[in-house]
Amino acid sequence: MDDLYREVIIEHYKNPSYRGKLDPHDIFFADNNPLCGDHIEITLQVGADGAVSDARFDGHGCAISQASADLLMEHIIGKPLEEVKQLNKQDVLDLLGIDLGPVRLKCALLSLKVLKAGVYGLGEAGDDLVE
């Protein structure tokens, strides 16, 4: 547990730096984890250089899902969209600094799924986006 609920995760859950909505924004996407009702929505602003100039997430859910969303927003600001498209499961786990079982993995990856569906301009966020 000391691993799973590392200080950093509790901290990002309780005091997120990137919670909110950007208005105006260039990219918006929202989705749920049907398993537990976790909800994540993201708004991005993209600069003329094709890089993420600002990013926010909003929603509700467990510490893992909300902390990973906050860490992910922090991680992508300044990165070109092409690079954001390449992010995968391991990147999120590295950000969290933990290993997760199959059930909690869905919580951790919800924000990446939502982010990639938004960046790719897809109609829905499929699990294949984060494999």
Partner 1 sequence: MAFEIRKIREDFPTLARQVRPGVPLVYLDSTATSHKPEAVLAAMDGYYRHSNANIHRGVHTLAEEATALYEQAREGIARFINAPAARQVIYTRNTTESINLVAYTWARANLKSGDVVIATEMEHHSNLVPWHMLAAERGVRLEFIPVTGDGLLDLEAYQKLLQLGPKLVTFTHMSNVLGTINPAREIIRLAHEAGAVTLVDGAQSVPHFPVDVQDLDVDFMAFSAHKMVGPTGIGVLYGKQALLEAMPPFLGGGDMIKTVHLHSFTPNTIPYKFEAGTPAIAEAVGFGAACEYLSGVGMDAIAAYEHAITEYALERLEEIPGLRLFGPSADKKGGVAAFTLDGIHPHDVAQILDQDGVAVRAGHHCAQPLHEKFSIPATSRASFYLYSTTEEVDRLVEGIYKVKKYFA
Q: Is 60 in the site for partner 1 (CB under 8 A)?
A: yes
In the complex with partner 1, which residue's Cβ is closer, 37 or 97?
37
Q: Is 39 in the site for partner 1 (CB under 8 A)?
A: yes
In whole angstroms, give the CA distance from residue 124 to residue 109. 15
In the numeric block, the tokens 């926010």 are attached to 56
| Region binding partner 1 by CB under 8 A among candidate stretches 29-37, 40-48, 70-78, 80-88 | 29-37
- x/- binding map, residues 75-104, to partner 1, per CB under 8 A? -----------------------------x
In whole angstroms, give the CA distance from residue 131 to residue 70. 20
SS3 126: coil
Query: Which of these, 74, 42, 38, lies nearest to 57 by C-alpha position?
Result: 42
Site residues, partner 1 (CB under 8 A): 1, 4-5, 10, 14, 35-39, 60-64, 104, 107
